[in-house]
């Protein structure tokens, strides 16, 4: 009888371990290898919405850049130079997108007096890298981009960073964890903590509503990709960001909740502005409110003497 109990207990333990291993592997696969949008679909979408002007892109003065990531792969960037100025903004796209999605912001900043650098995050577009880490490795890549751009424009030129969604979280992580070479930041719909963001997605899309799922995923994520979701937390570093920051979110966003932006805004000690748009789904604040979005940026840049009053 005792042997039977031991056997059954061992069998249950083995099955449980196997199931947890499968769960951990599947969960980390979903994170590390999140399905990317097709590049042609992104291009067709942006051209159709008149957010990307192919003629402008073909004729504008620009420089193709390949920048080495400290993580061992090349990053593809394009330095767009429509204006005779050193003022520059680096634009960071969201997860599953690519640099074509950033072109609408490049045109916006051109109207505000800035050249811009658009680039592909690791594993996106033309850049290298095998996995997506939602800001953990991307912040180091952004640091490499900033170094390369700063070297071109010089130490006295105004340099900003605009990030959307994952790009916004990456921007905050960069600003809070590295020596700041940028002069200002604009963060559009960032998450404040990646663990909380994953739990939010699990709760609305799956029956897996427990933190146990996340703990299992983190164990496998640490083994497979060298980090855990707890290390991707803009709320933990936002207090170290000293340069002016504009927070943007849409109140209709149900993917990354606007409360996360409100939290980050409260945690940044000073030199900050926030704009919450009534209309717009996730990462759609500009698409739905283009004029008000531009006015918000212009006011922010003017308030902090980064551009002259119009």
Look up the domain containing 220 and give its range. 1-32+194-230
Residues 138 and 259 occupy one common structural domain: yes
Q: pTM value?
A: 0.92
What gap in Å lies between CA 124 and CA 166, rounded to an integer?
12
Q: Count the domains in the chain.
A: 2
Evaluate if residue 4 carries a pLDDT over 70: no
pLDDT at 297 over 60: yes
CB distance 192 to 215 below 8 Å: no
Torsion of CA 216, 219, 225, 229, to 10 degrees: 70
Last residue of a domain, one of 206, 230, 254: 230
Specify whether 8 is located in the same domain as 149: no
Structure confidence at residue 179 (pLDDT): 84
Sorting pLDDT into bands at 50, 70 and 90, what band is 18?
Answer: very low
Lowest mean pLDDT among 57-61, 161-165, 178-182: 178-182
| pLDDT tens profile 179-237 | 889 999 999 999 999 999 998 887 776 555 567 778 888 998 999 999 999 999 999 99
What's the CA angle centered on 293, arms 291 and 294, to 5 degrees?
65
Quote the tokens at residue 215: 């703990």
**What does the alpha-carbon distance between residue 264 and residue 179 come to, in Å, rounded to a whole number?**
20
Domain of 90, CATH number, reads 3.40.50.1820
The rounded percent of the chain whose pLDDT value lies above 70 is 89
Q: What is the C-alpha to C-alpha distance for residues 306 and 158, in angstroms, rounded to an integer? A: 7
> 256 with 130, same domain?
yes
Helix pair angle (290-303, 103-111), 10° resolution: 50
* Percentage helix, strand, coil for the chain under 3-state DSSP, each rounded to 5: 50, 15, 35
Q: What is the rounded CA–CA span in Å between residue 27 and residue 174?
A: 26
Q: Is there a contact between 166 and 204 (Cβ–Cβ < 8 Å)?
A: no
pLDDT tens digit string along 97-149? Answer: 999 999 999 999 999 999 999 999 999 999 999 999 999 999 999 999 999 99
């Amino acid at each position: 009888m005792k042997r039977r109990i031991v056997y059954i207990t061992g069998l249950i333990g083995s099955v449980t371990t196997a199931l947890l291993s499968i769960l951990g592997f599947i969960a980390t696969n979903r994170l590390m290898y999140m399905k990317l949008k097709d590049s042609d679909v992104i291009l067709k979408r942006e051209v159709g919405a008149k957010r990307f002007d192919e003629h402008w892109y073909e004729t504008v003065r620009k420089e193709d850049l390949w920048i080495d990531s400290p993580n061992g792969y090349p990053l593809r960037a394009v330095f767009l130079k429509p204006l005779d100025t050193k003022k520059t903004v680096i634009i960071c796209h969201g997860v599953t997108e690519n640099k074509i999605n950033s072109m609408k912001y490049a045109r916006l900043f051109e109207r505000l007096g800035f050249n811009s650098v658009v680039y592909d995050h690791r594993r996106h577009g033309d850049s290298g890298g095998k996995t997506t880490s939602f800001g953990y490795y991307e912040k180091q890549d952004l640091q490499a981009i900033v170094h390369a751009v700063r070297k071109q424009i010089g130490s006295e030129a105004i340099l900003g960073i605009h990030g959307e969604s994952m790009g916004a979280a990456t921007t905050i992580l960069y600003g809070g964890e590295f020596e700041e070479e940028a002069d200002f930041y604009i963060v559009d719909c960032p998450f404040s903590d990646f663990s909380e963001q994953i739990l939010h997605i699990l709760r609305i899309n799956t029956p897996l509503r427990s933190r146990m799922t996340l703990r299992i995923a983190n164990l496998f994520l640490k083994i497979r990709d060298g980090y855990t979701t707890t290390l991707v937390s803009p709320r933990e570093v936002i207090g170290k960001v000293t340069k002016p920051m504009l927070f943007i979110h849409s109140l209709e966003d149900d993917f990354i909740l606007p409360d996360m932006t409100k939290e980050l805004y409260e945690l940044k000690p000073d030199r900050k502005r926030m704009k919450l748009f009534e209309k717009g789904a996730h990462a759609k604040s500009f698409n739905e409110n283009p004029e008000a979005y531009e006015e918000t940026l212009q006011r922010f840049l003017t308030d902090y003497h980064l551009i002259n009053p119009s």
